[in-house]
Structure 1
Amino acid sequence: MADNPRNGRPYRRLCTQQRALGLPCWWCGREIDYQIIGPEAGRHPYAFTLDHQVPLSRGGSLLDPANARSAHRRCNSQRGNRLTTAQPIASRRW
Structure 2
Amino acid sequence: MGSQVRSRNGNARRKAVARLRAEGRPCWICEAFGRQSAIDYSLPARHPMSFECDELIPVSCGGSPTDPANLAATHRRCNEWRSNHSVEWVLARAAAARGAATARASTSRRWL
Structure number with bigger Rg = 2
2:80 corresponds to: 77
- TM-score, normalised relative to structure 1: 0.82
Amino acid at match of 1:6: R
- Alignment gaps of 5+ in structure 1: none
1:26 corresponds to: 28
Q: Which of residues 41, 60, 63 is equivalent to 1:60?
A: 63
**Is 1:12 the counterpart of 2:19 in the alignment?**
no
Contact 1:6 1:12 (C-alpha < 8 Å) held by counterparts:
no
Amino acid at match of 1:27: I
Shift of 1:6: 2.9
User: Could you tell me how far apart the structure 1 residues matched to 2:78 and 2:50 are?
Assistant: 10
User: Could you tell me how far apart the structure 1 residues matched to 2:66 and 2:24 are?
Assistant: 19
Shift of 1:4: 3.6
Q: Identify the structure with the greater helix proportion.
A: 2
- Alignment gaps of 5+ in structure 2: 32-36, 108-112
- TM-score, normalised relative to structure 2: 0.70
